[in-house]
Amino acid sequence: MSDKSSLSPEGGAAAIEERAAEWLQRRRYWKDWSAQDQAALEAWLAESMTHAVAFWRLESVLDRAERLSVLRPQKFQRPFGIARKRPSRMALRVAAVLSLISAVGIAMVYPTLQPRGQAYATSLGGHTTIKLTDGSSIELNTSTLIHADVRAGRRYVSIEKGEAYFDIVHDAKHPFIVEVAGHRITDLGTKFSVREETGRIEVTLLEGRASIASARPGVQAHSAVLTPGDVAVATADTISIEQKSKPTLAKELSWRRGFLVFDGAPLAAVAAELNRYNREKLVIAGDDVKRLTIDASVPTDDIHAFTRVARDVFGLHVRDQGNEVVISR
């Protein structure tokens, strides 16, 4: 995508919302979105937490609107009204306004989806811990956005994007509630993690007890009670539970220590995980290379530790192409 000089200069909140809307429109609806465009977007997000929150809020609005299209008289398509043409200044302003109108409209249709409380976010590769007023704590992994409303008589968090680890102080009279992707997780005092991906959430319970239930109208109701070691995977209509050992769970939560631990993982899966944390992206070329498996502990912020293993252990070719590192035979 050429000529990014058309992006409006930074000003106040309105200018940031406008720019966030343009980035979102271009990434979703333009066919020529490239690795260079993605790198430029991530650089803009990293400039300021305000940028990241504005972009993710608009993206969350669009995701919700698409998931709730059954509540609209017509299918939700191309909300910004521009398909593949370069947007004008006025079109960008309209884009931002439409996004904000969508947020209000969805909140009126389904109030529990409306963001509540203080926003907390991490950028690409970020990791931070939030201490709540009730003594509980939340660790945010890379590219995560949440809203937390914890005060007298109320303990509520919504996850808009990403992954978080919760260490909740027991309060039998005031359960701690987490809403994410149309599901509600309720617990009285426990340790658990939640990872949100498009159309899928994963809840891992380490201590205590918690329940997970669908919380969106118009979908098949499903719920489950989790005990320590349970890993629940939920989509819009289904939920499945797998029991895992403590050592396995510790490895899967190693991001809290700045590492990713892999046991017999295909190279394609390792690359996909590392790409969640780094601006420079790994590309695995060739189906046979993607299927090669590896046991390794890799820093989340060092893809070159992985490329050295790929080169020295598997004899693979590593080629640096600017924003991408291609691994092949």
CATH of the domain at 297: 3.55.50.30
Name the least confident of 10-24, 124-138, 311-325. Answer: 10-24
Residue 53's domain comprises 4-111
| 105 and 126 part of one domain | no
Bridge partners, 53 (sequence order): none
Please state the φ and ψ torsions of residue 155, each to the nearest 5 degrees: -140, 100
Give the per-residue pLDDT at 3.
Answer: 38
Mean pLDDT of 125-151: 95
C-beta of residue 18 within 8 angstroms of C-beta of residue 95: yes
| 317 and 264 part of one domain | yes
pLDDT per residue as tens digits for the range 179-195: 998 899 998 789 999 99
Give the per-residue pLDDT at 72.
Answer: 44
Bridge partners, 107 (sequence order): none
* Coil, helix or strand at residue 272: helix
| 126 and 45 part of one domain | no
Last residue of a domain, which of 66, 87, 111?
Answer: 111
C-beta of residue 203 within 8 angstroms of C-beta of residue 166: no
Give the chain's mean pLDDT.
81
The answer, yes or no, to whether residue 53 has pLDDT greater than 80, is no
Predicted confidence band at 116 (pLDDT cuts at 50, 70, 90)? low
> Does residue 171 fall inside a structural domain?
yes
| 24 and 101 part of one domain | yes
d(CA 149, CA 115): 10
Look at residues 196, 201, 132 and name the one whose alpha carbon lies nearest to residue 168.
132
Number of domains in the chain: 3
> Does residue 251 fall inside a structural domain?
no
> Does residue 262 fall inside a structural domain?
yes
> Does residue 250 fall inside a structural domain?
no
| 213 and 132 part of one domain | yes
Please state the φ and ψ torsions of residue 217, each to the nearest 5 degrees: -70, 150
| 236 and 137 part of one domain | yes
Last residue of a domain, which of 85, 111, 137?
Answer: 111
Predicted confidence band at 82 (pLDDT cuts at 50, 70, 90)? very low
The answer, yes or no, to whether residue 46 has pLDDT greater than 60, is yes
d(CA 313, CA 305): 12
Predicted confidence band at 236 (pLDDT cuts at 50, 70, 90)? confident
d(CA 117, CA 126): 21
Predicted confidence band at 63 (pLDDT cuts at 50, 70, 90)? low
| 200 and 289 part of one domain | no
Mean pLDDT of 152-180: 92
The answer, yes or no, to whether residue 15 has pLDDT greater than 70, is yes
pTM value is 0.71
> Does residue 35 fall inside a structural domain?
yes
The C-alpha R_g of the chain, in whole angstroms, comes to 21
* Coil, helix or strand at residue 6: helix
Alpha carbon of 215 to those of 10, 110, 227, 237, 310: distances in Å? Answer: 38, 10, 21, 11, 44
| 22 and 75 part of one domain | yes
Q: What is the CATH number of the domain that holds 140?
A: 2.60.120.1440
Give the per-residue pLDDT at 41.
Answer: 82
Predicted confidence band at 61 (pLDDT cuts at 50, 70, 90)? low
Q: Does the CA dihedral 293-199-64-166 come out positive or negative? A: negative
> Does residue 146 fall inside a structural domain?
yes
The answer, yes or no, to whether residue 73 has pLDDT greater than 60, is no
The answer, yes or no, to whether residue 79 has pLDDT greater than 50, is no
